Structure 1
Amino acid sequence: MVSVLDSIIHGVREDLEQRRIAVGLEEIRARAAASAPALDAHAALSAGRADPQGVRIIAEVKRSSPSKGELAEIPDPGSLARAYQSGGASVISVLTEGRRFNGSLADLDAVRAAVEIPVLRKDFMVDEYQFYEARAHGADLVLLIVAALDDAQLQSFLTLTHELGMEALVEAHTEEEIARAAAVGAKIVGVNVRNLKTLEVDVAHYSTMARHLPDDVVRVAESGVTGPAVVADYAAEGADAVLVGEALVRDGEPAEALRRFRTASLVQEH
């Protein structure tokens, strides 16, 4: 049985081939080399547990998802990103996958031009071309999904990411995937509480997995945020940063919502 993740990656590879035809590998490498230096995403996300302003937030520009369908129209992703920045976001995540998330590299371009904080290209990275493409379009951080890559790919892509001056958010869902992320030297590790193979969400899963995270990595809790209480729980379990998408794009006042999330994380006593 083909999982949701496998189905998405199949489409990603097909769409990638069309972009590769339009802009060859050597050209995209040249564009990456000519781009402005990447911002320090690791520094932006570090020490979120000790931040007097609250846990760091990776705020996401996300139009649609496979599980929920259309979330928001977002006619001006740059304007939304500026609202996130004013609300205290540390990083802006931009979905660039088109078939299931209705994202694009144009969204990445618009956000990069609009904000002065690091930008994450959130996509299903399965080919070296995509890393040069990310850097060429101004990404400072890329997503590496452990479940989508074998160990050799994970190591190779992490090395390439760093060679290009970017950081990688290495996403895991299981104890075994966390161990694989640690084995290749991941510095930023996310625990996704949404199972990408079934799309089921279990916010308690972060607590279960957090105990297996290395002490020296930036810890990111991903998915499942429905309100400030979930952010507070993630922070209480040691998350340095929390990735929030749907709850922000559906809120009419995203900057204020983001401030509420950060403030809630300061109240961590149980």
Structure 2
Amino acid sequence: MARRAGSVPPFRGALQGRQVGVIAEVKRSSPSRGVINPGLDLAAQVRAYEAGGAAAISVLTEPTRFGGSADDLVLARKSVALPLLKKDFHVDVSQIFEARVLGASAALVIARAVAPGRLKDLITAGADVALEILVEVRDERELDLALSLNASLIGVNNRNLETLELDAGTSLRILPLIPRGVVAIAESGVKSAADVKRFADAGADAVLVGSELSGARHPEAVARSLTGVVRTGGARKG
């Protein structure tokens, strides 16, 4: 049975505080880094993130490239009170419904991975079951599409998923174009508080941190080191 709307903590609301929200990610491997933490104790990891001041947690459920599973999301939901983002290659409405049943507060949808009509369907499906949709973009065209569909959460991925190259300039270019009423998230390439501040100055409300935290020997301390940067809104317009 699907959870009732409102029975999981809000994702967007957790990222609208005075400070830049840290979305701490759990993953065992990735195409860009290979094996990161194959023996990851997921329950202990997410509790460390929570203790370190993370605003939300991203859980990779994709098995082939990232070593994740739906069970990881279920365990994370049992282990912490923070909102959870289900991160996977979501291309079908049934996956959105599944994310809600598993206890996610939000699900990632990559704009370039689906046709515009399908992106609209996925956002609508999320609204139908009170699951927030984080639309990931990499360029101005994808941003315009996301905004035309009234996306309220937009992530800018600094990693090119085709070449796996990392370019922080992607967020620095796109974030200022996101209206202030939309929660803007910088994804990938965050290793220090200085990186968080750089993205905050460009307009980030939150940052998503993956490999740096998943592979950390002391994840609580690393998470804490990334918190405390004040949101400024950058040059974003209302």
The equivalent residue for 2:7 is 37
The equivalent residue for 1:3 is none
Deviation at 1:266, TM superposition (A): 4.1
- Counterpart Cα distance in 1 of 2:79 and 2:36: 22
- Counterpart Cα distance in 2 of 1:231 and 1:55: 8
The equivalent residue for 1:184 is 149
Is the Cα contact below 8 Å between 1:38 and 1:165 reproduced in 2? Answer: no
Deviation at 1:241, TM superposition (A): 0.3
The alignment covers a number of residue pairs equal to 233
**Structure 1 residues 214 and 266: CA distance shift in structure 2, 3 A:** closer
- The one-letter code matched in structure 2 to 1:190 is G
Q: State TM-score, norm by structure 2.
A: 0.92
The equivalent residue for 1:248 is 213
**Structure 1 residues 113 and 215: CA distance shift in structure 2, 3 A:** same
What secondary structure does 2:216 align onto? coil
The equivalent residue for 2:26 is 61
Q: State TM-score, norm by structure 1.
A: 0.82
- The percentage of aligned residue pairs carrying the same residue is 40
Q: Deviations over 1:21-72 (max 9, x none)?
A: xxxxxxxxxx32579823211111124xxx1xx3100000011101110011
Is the Cα contact below 8 Å between 1:188 and 1:217 reproduced in 2? Answer: yes
The equivalent residue for 2:104 is 139
Q: Tell which deviates more after alignment, 107-116 or 211-220.
A: 211-220
**Structure 1 residues 188 and 36: CA distance shift in structure 2, 3 A:** closer
Structure 1, unaligned stretches of length 5 or more? Answer: 1-30
- The one-letter code matched in structure 1 to 2:92 is D
Deviation at 1:225, TM superposition (A): 1.4
The equivalent residue for 1:223 is 188
The equivalent residue for 2:56 is 91
Q: Deviations over 1:197-244 (max 9, x none)?
A: 221110122111112212210010000112222112111211100000
Q: Deviations over 1:94-141 (max 9, x none)?
A: 000000001111111110100001001000101111112111111110
Q: Of 142, 149, 155, which aligns to 2:120?
A: 155
Is the Cα contact below 8 Å between 1:35 and 1:135 reproduced in 2? Answer: no
Q: Of 172, 192, 197, which aligns to 1:232?
A: 197
- Counterpart Cα distance in 2 of 1:240 and 1:34: 28
Alignment RMSD: 1.9
The equivalent residue for 2:83 is 118
- The one-letter code matched in structure 2 to 1:170 is V
What secondary structure does 2:66 align onto? coil
**Structure 1 residues 233 and 32: CA distance shift in structure 2, 3 A:** same
Q: Choose 1 or 2 for highest CA Rg.
A: 1
